[in-house]
Chains A and B, each alone.
Chain A
Amino acid sequence: METMLKNKKIQVTGLSKENEVVNITNRENGAYPVRMETRNLNVKYGKVSAVKNISLPVYNERVTALIGPSGCGKTTFLRALNRMHDLTRNASVTGEVLLDGNNIYNPKVNPVTIRRKIGMVFQKPTPFPTMSIFNNVVAGLKLVGIRNKALLNEVCEKALTQAALFDEVKDRLNSPGGSLSGGQQQRLSIARALAIEPEVLLMDEPTSSLDPQSSSKIEDLIHELKKNYAIVIVTHNLQQAGRVSDYTGFFFLGELIEFGETEKMYTNPAHKRTEEYLTGKFG
């Protein structure tokens, strides 16, 4: 398995072969444990329900895509997974989100610890514009008081390599993060999220503000990253969801209509709404 993926990295250039890999791995899905799980998760903004009663597993070393028309609650759901709603004034979350069996909404759990275990990449690239590339990557480490230059260097190189950005920026690690192109900035944001070694990686439409070339780089990256992480990606791009994910959840009006293996859902959706959405009848 491991070698196969490695080989893929070298040989795959087109899309068809990537899909092959997905097919192969899907057959073995029993081997992947559940990393995260939501149980009856509800999110309300004031009195308006944005996410209704959603229970959904996130498998380790797999990519889970959340699709659905805009405004269907998929981003709201994703943000509930690392307690980002704590920051919104009138948002309230009920239900459970389990990370390795522990509820992250347990009052005893500090959201700060949770967010270090569950990294997040946003729609827009968000490098800290005044920090150097290097400092951007290790920003999360400096927070916990790591000052050891050798360790920081090592982590920085590793994270940038994982984010497939190292070769492009290794000669200018000290220039500001704002000086990179949009696609590079997004990979820098990913590197920054990876540097703190999260257990789960949440991606909120990570390619929506990028050009096609940068998008495909990010997609390749997701394939690489799933070897080590559980990944949840929100996307409005159905082709992208099909290309990168192993599991797909279809959201509609705040509800989870269907969840299952991507391949099955794309070829043989169980619900009529899913089929209509996938075939472009609405959304």
Chain B
Amino acid sequence: MRSIPENKTLFQRRLWDRFMVGLLLLSTILVMVPLLIIIGYVIVNGISALNWEFFTEELGSPARAMQGRPTGLIHTILGTAVVDLIALIIAAPVGLGAGILLSEYPDHKLNPPLRIINDTLNGMPAILKGLLAFALIVKPMGTFSGLAGGFALAFVMIPIIARSTESALMNIPWSIREAGLAIGLPRWRVVLSTVMPAARTGLVTGFLIAFARAAGEAAPLMFTSFGNNYLPRHWTGMILGPVDTLPQRLYSLAISPYKEWHAMGWAAGIVLLVFVITLFITARFLTRVKKED
């Protein structure tokens, strides 16, 4: 019956199959191992470097650490909170507005270019967003400032929020909008009081992811909020003057020549890692809860 010869036996083919599975598994392990090593090192070195002063004292000069006087990163933690919040306040309305335009007015002429440009902006290196904020804010103000840092991070957040808002609103069935319009609500009321509340889990998830991405960025802050070894005398100094942020401080500590500061770098590393990962896990958890609804 059969006229076709088989050049590969079934045994050979199954062997190859097993071999490829092995290769896939090996690749997976090969990537997982360094990941776990990194996390392990950060946890071990970070925890051993953490102490109470870390959360209560300001950094000061390197001499302070070398002489064993209490030193910490309270000014950095506060600065990070200020800069990240400024960024969120700037980015939230812009991202939401663009996301609403993309999803609620699907035929608007602006949408096709907006979508492409937004994605392109999202793909732009964060360091360029820092250069932009430097040129737009730092130069006119004549000083590095928390405000400039906030703008730089906002440029990181905006395209992410716009995209996630669009997809969160798109997930709401069109019939909900029609129901609202049918009872005579104007369009803007429909969006604000029926569509957005229905999509709030998705919206919050998008905000969290954008926030987490921006909170880990150091590059845009190096020449916008710049960094500061001390707590400003007045709280406005956090906004209008140079201010410390965790990612940027971590970099400065790591490349400094002082052993004591290296240890503080690890401590800053674990604080930053826990902060960012908590945001991501919350976001993923929210997505899962939403799926089960």
Contact = CB atoms under 8 A, between A and B. Distances in A.
Q: Classify A-B as touching or not with yes or no (CB < 8 A).
A: yes
Interface of A: 110, 112-113, 141, 143-147, 151, 155, 196-197, 199
Given A113-B10, A145-B6, A146-B4, 19 more contacts: A110-B10, A110-B14, A112-B10, A143-B8, A143-B13, A144-B4, A144-B7, A144-B8, A144-B13, A145-B7, A145-B8, A145-B12, A146-B5, A146-B7, A155-B4, A196-B4, A197-B1, A197-B3, A199-B1
Interface string B1-38: 11111111010111000000000000000000000000
Contacts, number: 31
A147 B7 contact: yes
Nearest to B7: A145
Contacts of B8: 143-145
Nearest to B8: A145
Contact of A197 (B4, B7, B14): B4
A113 B12 CA distance: 13
B2 A197 contact: yes
Interface of B: 1-8, 10, 12-14
Contacts of B3: 197
Contacts of B7: 144-147
A200 to B, nearest CB: 11
B250 to A, nearest CB: 46
Nearest to B17: A112
A44 B28 CA distance: 35
A151 B5 CA distance: 10
Contacts of A146: 4-7
Nearest to B2: A197
Contacts of A112: 10, 13-14
A197 B1 CA distance: 8
Q: Which of A145, A147, A196 has the most CB of B within 10 A?
A: A145
29 contacts: A110-B10, A112-B10, A112-B13, A112-B14, A113-B10, A141-B4, A143-B8, A143-B13, A144-B4, A144-B6, A144-B7, A144-B8, A144-B13, A145-B6, A145-B7, A145-B8, A145-B12, A146-B4, A146-B5, A146-B6, A146-B7, A151-B4, A155-B4, A196-B4, A197-B1, A197-B2, A197-B3, A197-B4, A199-B1
A141 B3 CA distance: 12
B176 to A, nearest CB: 33
Contacts of B14: 110, 112
A111 to B, nearest CB: 11
Nearest to A228: B1
B6 to A, nearest CB: 4
A147 B12 CA distance: 16
Contacts of A113: 10
Contacts of B10: 110, 112-113
B14 to A, nearest CB: 8
B15 to A, nearest CB: 13
